[in-house]
Structure 1
Amino acid sequence: MFGRRAVRPSGEQTPLAAAADAAAAFGSATDEVDEAVAEVLAVNRTDLRILGLVDAAGTMTAGAVAEAARLSPAATTAAIQRLVAAGHLRRDTDPDDRRRAVVTVTPETAEVIDRLYGPIGEAGHRLLTRYTTEELRLVTGFLERGRAMQIAQAARIRNTARDPGV
């Protein structure tokens, strides 16, 4: 989002700079899709992230949601309450431990999520069928290493934010 472009003085990008810019633009486009879905569901981006985490897991405790979303217990409780009130999450008793609650995405919200994100997955799959097996291995390797790099950089930034000298 805030990355600097590596452009030759002539204005012509190097292949490395073009690839870096394309990766950044892909991330921005993904953010744009998530913003659109959040608007349709009438939730904020943090609540959308929680919905995504719970949808992927099937069922989660509030503690697991807090850990996965990197939120405080109080912020997680408030978000879960908002999402339950909006009809996006359902709170039930944990069948393995009757003393604690678990949350799941409601069937109605799951259907909306599938309707909104499903065509993106289908279009992406169609796009990927244009590539050879070797090209797909290259793309997969880049995405896996890029994801690991992004997670490491997020951790670095969080650690920097804890440093009072920054």
Structure 2
Amino acid sequence: MSKRKLIEDVAVELRLLQRSFDAFDEAAASTLKLNRTDLRALDVLLASDEHLTAGELSNALKLSPAATTTVLDRLQRAGFAARIPDPGNRRRVHVAVTEAARAAERELYAPVGEAGAEALSGYDLDQLATIHHFLRTARGVQEAQAARLNS
């Protein structure tokens, strides 16, 4: 097989992988009775080491403050997020995930991580390093292309 053909095959597999991510996200959102934007917000919050301010969440999601408020209202009603007033600034609100959000994360995403780890366990260190490098490179390409479209 030629290098060009293999690159084309990788591109096809990446497209199919993206579709599988989209399908999983759609199923997760449906399971949690959220829309995709709410699920994205929940993902950002779950991945954060600390509470985020509403403004930081707006920036991460590239949403207006008003749209972020609507997302937070829905997440709060669903029991997945809580607003915490900033004691030093009455106008600032921090957003924290709830135990219900952590439970949903364990239920929905832990099995994905476990299955992924199992699938990767068959690769040696050099192969894993190559996979890691490829994924970082592919993410960089996607982020650059998103920036190109958004400019």
Counterpart AA for 1:81: D
Equivalent of 1:41 in 32, 49, 57: 32
Does the residue aligned with 1:130 lie in a helix, a strand or coil?
coil
- Alignment partner of 1:92 out of 80, 84, 90: 84
Residues of 1 paired with 2:17 and 2:86: CA distance? 39
In the alignment, structure 2 segments of 5+ residues that lack a partner are none
Alignment of 1:66-145 (within 5 A): 66-94=58-86, 97-99=88-90, 100-145=92-137
TM-score by length of 1: 0.84
Deviations 1:91-127 (A, max 9, x none): 11235x2522111111012101211000100110011
1:43-68 superposed Cα distances (whole Å, 9 cap, x missing partner): 11000000010111141111000000
**How many equivalent pairs are there?**
146
Equivalent residue for 1:148, pick from 133, 140, 145:
140
Please list every run of 5 or more consecutive structure 1 residues that lacks an aligned counterpart in the other structure. Answer: 1-12, 160-166
Q: Which has the larger radius of gyration?
A: 1
| Aligned-residue RMSD, C-alpha | 1.4
Rounded to whole Å, the distance in 2 between the matches of 1:38 and 1:108 is 15
Q: Which has the higher contact order (CA 8 A, sep 6+)?
A: 2
Moved over 6 A (4+): none
Instruction: Give the counterpart of 2:54 among 31, 46, 62.
Output: 62
Counterpart-to-counterpart distance in 2, 1:131 and 1:17: 23
Match of 1:27 in 2: 18
Query: Which secondary structure does the structure 1 equivalent of 2:122 belong to?
Result: coil
Give the helix-richer structure, 1 or 2. 2
Identity %: 39
CA distance in 2, matches of 1:86, 1:20: 38
TM-score by length of structure 2 reads 0.91
